[in-house]
């Protein structure tokens, strides 16, 4: 089927270089990866760059459709105004030197309007926000869904639909390339812990937002059940204190002989390890999206955040969420802003275990 015509579509032949801007967290950045695939398919001759925060670079590094990865080092703010100004000047010079024809800005971040003008691009597409400066900065503006929920990947791709670059379903998959060094390190870890590929379960219980997390004692009960069924179990997590405390509480409460790799892996190594697992079990966080990118089946626990917008993308999965809290997804940082979510605190372990069993059975033929 031919793509529909867009009245003010951009001719891809006139796009020699394009810049995609996504100044958000790790998972948000990974969910933009299909945008680069679609752009490259629409304009195979073009060089396509990304601008993201430095800490999120592993989410797009190695993407075959990206020519250059520009990053903003937010840590420069802690070193004073001069280092920050030097960093900004270097970024501006780098962007100007690329002579972009198109800028795709994927958030409402006001910096995007300045950067589009600074880049000197003829075309720019961004969300349809109010304000003269914003509206005159971009030649095209795309609408967000109204009264319905749409996955974030599709919302990102709406920016390209708006300019006439219609995605094929095959181009919508997440792309994550961990790299050879990560493969070597993870291969050594698997050998050291006698973990056959596709024969262990990876559990990532934490998130930078603790209101998204399931209680430690319920996670421990799930681990006990899975271990009794004969599954080797690997725990992963970020090195920050709250996630470390959650991992320690789980280990104290479980009887299962878990392998604790929390805080010991780089993001590419974590992605590679997830890719070697039979199943990923976790909450709404970046590693859940990494699992989807690596093709590993996902059991995802959702509380205040919306699974229609943020659920596992194009991978076999089960979403487990409360059936007795009509208030969810509320989008709040816990009930009343308490940083604790009743819809997760009361989520039964039996429902999560049933989801794991069902997904294991469903994907048995896919075992690598």
pLDDT value, residue 359: 98
C-alpha to C-alpha distances, 229 to 226, 258, 263, nearest whole angstrom: 5, 14, 27
Using CB atoms within 10 A of its CB, is residue 217 exposed (0-12), middle (13-18) or buried (19+)? middle
- The pair phi, psi for residue 161, each rounded to 5°, is -60, -40
- Residues 293 and 172: their CA atoms lie apart, in Å, by 11
The answer to whether residues 329 and 70 touch, using CB atoms and an 8 Å cutoff, is: no
Asked whether residue 305 carries a pLDDT value surpassing 80, the answer given is: yes
The answer to whether residues 176 and 294 touch, using CB atoms and an 8 Å cutoff, is: yes
Asked whether residue 95 carries a pLDDT value surpassing 80, the answer given is: yes
Asked whether residue 368 carries a pLDDT value surpassing 80, the answer given is: no
Asked whether residue 75 carries a pLDDT value surpassing 80, the answer given is: no
Q: How many CB atoms lie within 10 A of CB 187?
A: 13
Percent of the chain with pLDDT over 70: 99
Asked whether residue 348 carries a pLDDT value surpassing 90, the answer given is: yes
Structural domains in the chain, CATH included, are 12-171 (3.40.50.2000), 180-366 (3.40.50.2000)
C-alpha to C-alpha distances, 351 to 212, 244, 321, 340, nearest whole angstrom: 17, 25, 9, 20
The answer to whether residues 92 and 118 touch, using CB atoms and an 8 Å cutoff, is: yes
Among 52, 53, 43, which residue's Cα sits nearest to residue 18? 43
Q: What's the pLDDT tens digit per position in 282-294? A: 999 999 999 999 9
**How far separated are the first and last CA of the chain, in Å rounded?**
34
- Write down the pTM of the prediction: 0.95
Lowest mean pLDDT among 39-48, 79-88, 234-243: 79-88
Q: How many CB atoms lie within 10 A of CB 277?
A: 24
């Amino acid at each position: 089927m031919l793509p529909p015509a867009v009245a003010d579509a951009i001719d891809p032949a006139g796009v020699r270089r394009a810049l995609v801007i996504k100044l958000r967290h790790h998972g948000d950045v990974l969910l933009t990866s299909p945008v680069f695939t679609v752009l490259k398919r629409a304009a195979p001759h073009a060089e396509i760059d990304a601008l993201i925060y430095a800490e999120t670079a592993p989410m797009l590094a190695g993407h075959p459709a990206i020519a250059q990865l520009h990053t903003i080092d937010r840590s420069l703010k802690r070193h004073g105004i001069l280092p920050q100004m030097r960093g900004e000047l270097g970024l501006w010079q780098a962007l100007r030197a690329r002579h972009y024809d198109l800028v795709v800005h994927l958030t409402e971040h006001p910096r995007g309007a300045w950067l589009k003008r600074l880049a000197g691009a003829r075309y720019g597409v961004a969300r349809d926000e109010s304000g003269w400066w914003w509206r005159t900065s971009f030649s095209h503006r795309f609408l967000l869904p109204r009264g319905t929920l749409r996955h974030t990947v599709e919302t990102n791709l709406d920016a390209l639909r708006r300019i006439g670059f219609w995605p094929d379903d095959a181009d919508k998959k997440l792309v994550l390339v961990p790299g050879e060094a990560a493969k070597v390190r993870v291969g050594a870890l698997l050998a050291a812990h006698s973990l056959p590929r596709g024969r262990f379960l990876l559990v990532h219980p934490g998130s930078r937002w603790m209101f998204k997390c399931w209680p430690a004692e319920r996670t421990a009960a799930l681990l006990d059940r899975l271990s009794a069924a004969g599954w080797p179990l690997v725990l992963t997590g970020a090195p920050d204190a709250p996630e470390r405390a959650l991992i320690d509480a789980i280990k104290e409460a479980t009887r299962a002989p878990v392998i604790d790799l929390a805080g010991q892996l780089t993001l590419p190594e974590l992605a590679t390890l997830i890719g070697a697992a039979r199943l990923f079990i976790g909450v709404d966080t970046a590693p859940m999206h990494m699992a989807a990118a690596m093709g590993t089946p996902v059991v995802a626990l959702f509380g205040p955040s919306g699974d229609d917008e943020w659920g596992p993308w194009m991978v076999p999965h089960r979403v487990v969420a409360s059936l007795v809290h009509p208030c969810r997804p509320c989008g709040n940082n816990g009930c009343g802003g308490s940083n604790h979510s009743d819809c997760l605190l009361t989520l039964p372990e039996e429902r999560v275990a049933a989801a794991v069993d069902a997904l294991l059975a469903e994907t048995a033929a896919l075992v690598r």
